[in-house]
Amino acid sequence: MPNFQNDMRRLLRERVIDTARRLVCTEGWGAVNMSRVAKEVGVSRPVLYKEIGTKQDLAEVVIANELETFLAGVTETVAAQPGDLLAGVTAAAEYTLRTAADNTLLKVVLAGRSGADTTLLPTLMTEPEPVLGRATAAFTAILNARYRLESFSEAELGTRVEAVVRLVLSHLFQPAGTIDRAVAQIVLVAEPLFAREP
């Protein structure tokens, strides 16, 4: 039997994330404060603080939610390349870069990096969690689920995936050319990383 209280907490969390994301996309992270989010969601500030925590916690929750959306798309993209590890890695990198180019939240955050509204950027770029660590762990799990990777030890695979994830994030945060050029560079690095002699 469903737990009503858990369902309500999940719905509250979803509404908080949606509200904060909308505010960031329309007005920037500087416009997001806990009082305003609580008011727009229709709860008291104490309830919001109890459920989410601080504004920094809210930033991490919003980013983690965005990352989950990206990873769901990466999972589908890799699934469409059933027999070819390099093709899966390449498709995942391309999907990430193309989807990010159309992602309003990411555009707003990256556009704010030269202004005063940069508080969301350090969470996105420098914290090992939620982005780099979670993306590396999730992408490793995605590849393990889809391909036969017994020839790599767990440490070898993790190191290779992290190198690719770091390169994708670098192209994401500091683009220097077209997405096609970025993908070609990622393939150049990924191909020897994932090659194994039979």
Q: Do residues 19 and 41 touch, judged by C-beta distance below 8 A? A: yes
N residues, the chain: 198
- Residue ranges of the domains in the chain? 1-53, 56-194
Domain boundaries 1-53, corresponding CATH code: 1.10.10
| Segment 47-64, tens digit of pLDDT | 999 999 998 889 888 888
Q: Is it the case that residue 75 has pLDDT exceeding 90?
A: yes
Question: Using CA atoms, how far apart are residues 186 and 122, in angstroms rounded to an integer?
Answer: 24
Closest CA to 98 of 175, 188, 29, 20: 175
30: left (phi over 0), alpha (psi -120 to 50) or beta: alpha
Tokens describing residue 191 = 């191909």
Give the model's confidence band at 198: pLDDT under 50 very low, under 70 low, under 90 confident, else very high: very low
Which amino acid, residue 135? A
| Segment 84-108, tens digit of pLDDT | 999 999 999 999 999 988 888 877 7
Tokens describing residue 176 = 């220097």
Kindly state the DSSP code that residue 69 receives in the 8-state scheme: H
Residue 108: its H or E element: helix 104-111
Question: Using CA atoms, how far apart are residues 98 and 5, in angstroms rounded to an integer?
Answer: 39
Q: Do residues 184 and 108 touch, judged by C-beta distance below 8 A? A: no
Give me the pLDDT at residue 110, please: 66
